[in-house]
């Protein structure tokens, strides 16, 4: 049987994503390329590996057996890469960092400073949602992750490196824009533009309000911070966002933060990696850099 390591990687990505499209995104391949690899693997094995249940793709019995072995093989391969990577000097390795979408407002600034200091490191940045970040940690397919809330269902090491203040945003002509010490209960009269269910910002917002026994009226839901900001500017409602995402809008007064009791809600950003992971010299250098310097390079302005 001739099975390639590439086919196993593609197979594993389809199996844990239950989707050819999501596997293609994760692997930075086109969807036809992913389907072709799976088809060739099925031809080689002589058994179907996936079947369709409605919109979901699930593994057949043969697929489940193969998944068991391919996970073990892929983990061993990544470990091998880590060991070989650790034998390279700090300035020759490669480094894969994955960040939550909100982190992407400051991650490039960090990477730019780091890359100047270590020009020989081959850096790759993935920007994705929380669910994918957790999967990447689980399958050990990333060196370091920057995110808002470390996962509880995967064994990880996590270290806080910077404040992540959450603020209530409104268009400048909103009736609450010039009021001070707005009681939080007043927000129950407003509609809120929401991020998608998997967003860390949304989780924090829901926790903040439920801890105060407040029911918030949900308006439109959007999967991107940029869309949320446009919606708030257009008067579709208020929202709660990370201060990191609105530095430009505050500067140009396209949005304002409201002076609501309890806000800014102080959260933290965390650097996260799989527990027991052998960090390469490049990954260790990035970890040390983020913990020591991220806050001075990328801390957001305090709202007035």
Q: Does 101 bind ligand PGA (CB under 6 A)?
A: yes
Q: Which of 63, 93, 148, 264 binds ligand PGA (CB under 6 A)?
A: 148
Q: Does 199 bind ligand PGA (CB under 6 A)?
A: yes
End-to-end Cα separation, the chain, in angstroms: 66
Cβ nearer to ligand PGA, comparing 176 with 290: 290
Report yes or no: 287 and 144 within 8 Å, Cβ to Cβ.
yes
Cβ nearer to ligand PGA, comparing 42 with 249: 249
Q: What is the dihedral of CA 209, 222, 167, 297, to 10 degrees?
A: 130
The C-alpha atoms of residue 135 and residue 154 are separated, in whole angstroms, by 9
Q: Which of 130, 244, 277, 287 binds ligand PGA (CB under 6 A)?
A: 130
Q: Does 195 bind ligand PGA (CB under 6 A)?
A: yes
Q: Does 128 bind ligand PGA (CB under 6 A)?
A: no
Q: Does 100 bind ligand PGA (CB under 6 A)?
A: yes
Site string for ligand PGA, 243-262 (x = CB under 6 A): --------------------
Shortest distance (Å) from residue 200 CB to ligand PGA: 2
Q: Does 229 bind ligand PGA (CB under 6 A)?
A: no
Shortest distance (Å) from residue 199 CB to ligand PGA: 4
Report yes or no: 16 and 135 within 8 Å, Cβ to Cβ.
yes
- Which residue, judged by CB position, is nearest to ligand PGA in the bound state? 200
Phi/psi of residue 144, nearest 5 degrees? -140, 145
Q: Which of residues 153-192 bind ligand PGA (CB under 6 A)?
A: none
Q: Does 147 bind ligand PGA (CB under 6 A)?
A: yes
Q: Does 274 bind ligand PGA (CB under 6 A)?
A: no
Give the chain's largest Cα–Cα span.
Answer: 72
* Nearest Cα to Cα of residue 102 among 216, 267, 238: 267
| Number of helices (H), then strands (E), in the chain | 10, 11
* DSSP letter for each residue of 31-58: HHHHHHHHHHHHHHHTS--EEEETTEEE
Residues that bind ligand PGA in the complex, under the rule CB under 6 A = 100-102, 130, 147-149, 195, 199-201
């Amino acid at each position: 049987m001739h099975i390639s390591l590439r086919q196993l990687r593609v197979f594993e990505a389809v199996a844990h994503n239950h989707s050819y499209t999501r596997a293609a995104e994760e692997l930075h391949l086109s969807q036809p390329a992913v389907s072709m690899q799976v088809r060739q693997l099925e031809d080689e094995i002589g058994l179907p590996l996936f079947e369709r249940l409605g919109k979901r793709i699930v593994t057949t019995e043969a697929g489940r057996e193969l998944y068991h072995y391919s996970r073990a093989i892929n983990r061993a391969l990544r470990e091998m890469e880590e060991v070989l990577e650790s034998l390279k000097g700090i300035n020759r390795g490669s480094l894969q960092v994955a960040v939550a979408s909100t982190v992407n407002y400051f991650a490039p600034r960090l990477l730019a400073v780091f890359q100047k200091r270590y020009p020989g490191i081959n850096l790759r940045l993935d920007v994705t949602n929380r669910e994918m970040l957790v999967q990447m940690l689980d399958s050990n397919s990333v060196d370091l992750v920057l995110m808002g809330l470390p996962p509880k269902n995967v064994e990880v090491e996590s270290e806080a490196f910077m404040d992540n203040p959450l603020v209530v945003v409104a268009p400048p002509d909103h009736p609450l824009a010039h009021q001070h010490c707005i009681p939080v209960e007043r927000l129950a009269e407003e509609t809120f533009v929401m991020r998608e269910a998997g967003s860390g910002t949304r989780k924090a917002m829901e926790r903040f309000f439920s801890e105060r026994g407040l029911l918030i009226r949900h308006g439109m839901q959007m999967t991107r911070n940029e869309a949320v900001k446009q919606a708030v500017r257009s008067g579709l409602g208020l929202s709660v966002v990370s201060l990191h995402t609105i530095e430009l809008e505050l500067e140009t007064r396209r949005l304002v933060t409201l002076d609501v009791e309890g806000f800014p809600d102080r959260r933290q950003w965390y650097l996260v990696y799989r527990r027991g992971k052998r960090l390469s010299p490049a990954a260790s250098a990035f970890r040390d850099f983020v913990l020591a310097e991220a806050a001075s390079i990328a801390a957001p302005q305090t709202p007035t």
